[in-house]
């Protein structure tokens, strides 16, 4: 019994992909954001899809749009995990006794760095020494060099430890 898969074999093992297969691939790509998963779901090798993409500009554009939809869903899930968290079960002696909500601080920081790079990116973390010096000159009226090292608060040792910290009582 022969199964109609939507792809027909041609000489030398090449597969001809019909419109239904293309639509199925694009739908799966939009759902998964994974070319591998979409390829497996359609039963057509990844390399074949890349060849079609290379030769068919309309398909390439549809691919990009489907992938963008899939990546939006992945991004939404990353935001959900960072902000709302996810439940992890707690087991005791093989029995589930509860759950705890876990959040991903690292994911949250990566999202902030990607979406607001001027505020949370690497450039925002650097303090420009020249800018600090010119600001101090402006505040001081422009006379004399300034020490830009931070002032050590009273009650703290030069190394940053509080006097008496770590002492046994």
CB 111 within 8 A of CB 79: yes
Domain identity same for 108 and 79? no
Q: What are phi and psi of 79, to 5 degrees?
A: -65, -45
Q: Are 6 and 18 in contact (CB under 8 A)?
A: yes
In angstroms, the CA 159 to CA 153 distance is: 11
Q: Is residue 28 part of a domain?
A: yes
Query: In this structure, is residue 132 part of a structural domain?
Result: yes
20 located within any domain? yes
Phi, psi of 102 (to 5 degrees): -110, 140
Confidence (pLDDT) at 114: 87
Q: Are residues 70 and 114 in the same domain?
A: no
Alpha carbon distance 166, 159 (integer Å): 14
Query: Residue 58: inside a domain, yes or no?
Result: yes
What is residue 73's three-state secondary structure? helix
- In our burial notation (b when 16+ CB lie closer than 10 A, e otherwise), range 6-21 reads bbeeeeeeeeebeeeb
Same domain as 56, residue 114: no
Q: Is 57 part of a structural domain of the chain?
A: yes
Q: What angle do CA 83, 84, 87 make, to 5 degrees?
A: 130
Q: How many domains does the chain have?
A: 2
Same domain for 17 and 75? yes
In this predicted structure, what is the pLDDT of residue 130? 57
Residues 64, 122, single domain; the answer is: no
Q: Return per-residue pLDDT of the chain as tens, 169 residues.
A: 445 555 555 443 456 789 999 999 999 999 999 999 999 999 999 999 999 999 999 999 999 999 999 999 999 999 998 899 999 999 999 999 999 999 988 989 998 888 888 888 776 666 555 566 777 777 877 555 545 555 555 554 555 444 454 445 4
Both 129 and 68 in one domain: the answer is no
113 and 61 in a common domain: no
Is 66 inside a domain boundary?
Answer: yes
CB 134 within 8 A of CB 140: no
- Quick one: pLDDT at residue 117? 85
Q: Are residues 65 and 108 in the same domain?
A: no
Supply the pLDDT for residue 13: 43
128 shares its domain with 68: no
Do 68 and 116 share a domain, yes or no?
no
Q: Which domain holds residue 16?
A: 7-83
71 within some domain: yes
| Residue 155 falls inside a structural domain | no
């Amino acid at each position: 019994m022969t199964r109609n898969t939507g792809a027909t074999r041609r000489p030398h093992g090449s597969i001809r992909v019909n419109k239904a297969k293309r639509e199925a691939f694009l739908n799966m790509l939009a759902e998964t954001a994974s070319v591998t998963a979409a390829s497996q779901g359609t039963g057509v090798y990844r390399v074949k899809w890349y060849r079609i993409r290379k030769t068919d500009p309309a398909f390439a554009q549809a691919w990009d749009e489907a992938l963008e939809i899939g990546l939006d869903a992945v991004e939404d899930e990353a935001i959900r995990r960072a902000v709302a968290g996810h439940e992890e079960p707690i087991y005791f002696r093989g029995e589930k006794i509860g759950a705890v909500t876990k959040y991903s601080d690292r994911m949250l920081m990566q999202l902030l760095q990607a979406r607001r790079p001027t505020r949370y990116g690497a450039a925002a973390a650097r303090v420009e020494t020249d800018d600090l010096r010119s600001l101090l000159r402006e505040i001081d009226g422009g006379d004399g060099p300034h020490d830009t090292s931070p002032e050590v608060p009273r009650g703290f040792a030069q190394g940053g430890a509080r006097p008496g910290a770590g002492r046994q009582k």
